[in-house]
Structures are given as C-alpha cells and as structure tokens.
Amino acid sequence: MCWCADSRRDGGPSRHGRVCHHRSVDRLRRPPPDFRRAEVVAVDRRTPRLVRLTLAGDDLVGFDAPEPAASLRLLLPREGPGTPLELPSWNGNEFRFADDARPPIRTLTPLSPDPEHGRVEVEVVLHGDGALSRWAEAEPLGDEVAVSGPGRGFVPDPEVARLLLVGDESAVPAVGQLLEWLPPAVHVDVVLEVVDDDAEPSLPGRDGTEVVRCVAAPDDPPGAAMLAAMQEQPLIDDVVVWAAGEAAAVQKLRKLLGERGVPRSRTVVRGYWKHGRAGAGS
Ligand SMILES: Cc1cc2nc3c(=O)[nH]c(=O)nc-3n(C[C@H](O)[C@H](O)[C@H](O)COP(=O)(O)OP(=O)(O)OC[C@H]3O[C@@H](n4cnc5c(N)ncnc54)[C@H](O)[C@@H]3O)c2cc1C
C-alpha cells in the first residue's frame, strides 16, 4: 500500500477526491551486515557472574569496532553449548531459521577488536536465565558462533570535562572500555549496580575516577539500587551522563536526571535488556 498522505486504506480516492497513483511500497528493512563465523578460542571466568570469551576466525579479519561502548550481534549455536551453528536467513524484516523459528541472537559489547588477526572479545553476564547466559555458563571453548556488526558506540564530545557513567552488570564491559578510552583529563564518576557483592566485577584502574557500587536487594526490581544511589549523586553543571541497563530502570533514570536539571542533550540512555523478556536487547 502507499503511505502518502493522500492514500486511503481501501485504495480509493482520498478525502480530497484524489486517487493516489504512487507505486505500492513493501516495507522491507535493509538487511544488517552479514554474519561472520568465528570460534570461541579462549574462556576466562572473570567473576562468578561474568565470563570473558575470545572469538577468532578468518571471517573476523576486517571486523573492527573503533568506538567505545559499541555493539555486536552474536549468533549462538541453535541447540545450546557444543551443538553445531546454523545460519538463519533474512526474511526482509528479521532473521529466521528455515522452520521459521527465531535464532538465538544477542547483543554484546565488542572488546579489544583485532581486525588484522580476526579476533574480538566479549564479556557475558551470567544472570542464570536465557540462551546467552546458559551458553556462556557452560564455558563453550571450541563452539562455533557468528558475529555481525558493529553498531554505533558512544563518543563523548572532546570538550567534556566530567562524565557520569551509570549502569548494571550488563554495562560493565562498556563502562570498563570507556574508562580505558577516555582522555586522562576527563573526570569520571561511575555508579554501578551489582547483584552480588562477592561477584563484584573489576573495572580498570584510572586516575580521576570515582566508583559508587550499590548492591541490588533480591526482591527489588532491577535498577532500584542504582536509582536510589542516583538520588544522592552530586551532579555538577555541564556533566554528561551515559547510562545503560534494564530498559524500564534507565527510563526512570532519564526522568530523574531531568528532574535534577540535567538536560536531555547531555544524557545518553540505552536500554540493554528488558525485565521478563527474552532477547529484548537485540
Ligand atoms: C548495545 C548493547 C550492548 C550490550 N552489551 C552487553 C555485554 O557486553 N554483556 C552482557 O552480558 N550483556 C550485554 N547486553 C545485554 C544483553 O544483550 C541482554 O542482557 C541479553 O538479553 C542477554 O541474553 P540472554 O539470552 O542471557 O537472556 P534473554 O533470553 O534475553 O532473557 C531471558 C531472561 O533473562 C532476563 N535478563 C536478560 N538479561 C539480563 C541481565 N543482564 N541481568 C538479569 N536478567 C537478565 C530477561 O529479562 C529475561 O527474563 C547489551 C545489550 C545492548 C543493547
């Protein structure tokens, strides 16, 4: 059907009496970049809730992600750890397997990309549920996967003097990468919500960085501890805020920042996953 203002759903004349002669347009989405096959060549259990995987393969030669806090899409073995990789097809709107099932594709932060040697690393939160978490929990050395991307990252204005990075465990890889990437002159405050104090993910040491960690209470919705900490967090003029985590929590954070006088133009808020919904960050 035609989407011009003059068209009617039944294809008849518009309310102005004109018949639309525009060519009918199928609303197809441009396919994302091709999947590149890779193998899990190293597994490093960094904490009880975070595992780092190194992916490598000839197809990854040329794969780069120069911006920090960027994204890649990871296609997992269909039947779980140790099973063969099956590539889905693009149906004009999304990837599907031949039997119409949805493939297990999840979004992660590309770390230490090495386009020359065809390597990239990812860190996966072991939250206990979901195709990605269960697969990574099995420490799937030797499994074949496929990678697509990268998606855009976060490159702060070079004039920024003070950044506030806020997130939960899923944002730890991006926060760590930003801490390594930012020029030393930038002061960085970090507010991080973790699920388990003992499984505290380590961030790279950096001068001019202050980290506030808050532990999520078991019965609270995700992000509640982070939001409480953000009520108290000093917000100086001109601070730029980057936040990522559970979608509803970061939307509440966006509202809180507005109420505390931080303009939208100085906030970047990204929903990385949705409470109770599988594959929602992809
Ligand atoms: C740009 C971007 C970058 C990201 N980078 C990373 C990264 O580097 N590392 C990383 O681990 N994640 C990252 N994520 C988040 C990740 O894509 C999601 O958490 C993903 O849904 C996990 O897939 P799963 O198969 O484990 O769980 P799903 O099958 O998607 O979900 C199953 C259940 O688990 C819940 N769930 C999903 N994720 C979490 C979580 N983190 N904590 C608690 N419960 C959860 C869901 O609400 C659902 O109820 C990123 C997301 C985006 C959009």
Which atom of ligand 1 approaches the CA of 136 most closely? 26
Mutational pocket test of ligand 1: of 52, 120, 170, 177, the residue with most ligand atoms within 8 Å of the beta carbon: 170
Binning pLDDT at 50, 70 and 90, where does residue 28 land? confident
Six-digit token string for 170:
């899923």
The per-residue pLDDT for range 141-158, each reduced to its tens digit, is 999 999 999 999 999 988
250 CB within 6 A, ligand 1: no
Share the mean pLDDT of the chain.
89
pLDDT-derived band at 21, boundaries 50, 70, 90: very low
Q: Which residue type occupies 238?
A: D
Ligand 1, atom 1: closest residue by C-alpha: 71
Find the length of the chain: 282
User: Is the distance from the beta carbon of residue 63 to the nearest atom of ligand 1 less than 6 Å?
Assistant: no
- Domains in the chain: ranges and CATH: 36-150 (2.40.30.10), 162-273 (3.40.50.80)
Tell me the β-bridge partners of 165: 190, 242
Per residue in 260-276, pLDDT tens? 999 999 999 999 999 99
Distance 41 CA to ligand 1 centre (A): 22
Residue among 133, 148, 177 whose CB has most ligand 1 atoms within 8 A, to mutate: 133
Answer whether the bond into residue 150 is a cis peptide, omega within 30°. yes
pLDDT at 30: 82
pLDDT band at residue 26 using 50, 70 and 90 as cut-offs: low
CB distance 57 to 118 below 8 Å:
yes
Ligand 1 close to Cβ of residue 170 (< 6 A): yes
Residue 282's pLDDT band (cuts 50, 70, 90): low
Distances (CA, A) of 19 to 3, 5, 26, 27: 13, 11, 19, 21
Residue 13: the pLDDT is: 39
Which residue puts its alpha carbon closest to atom 44 of ligand 1? 127
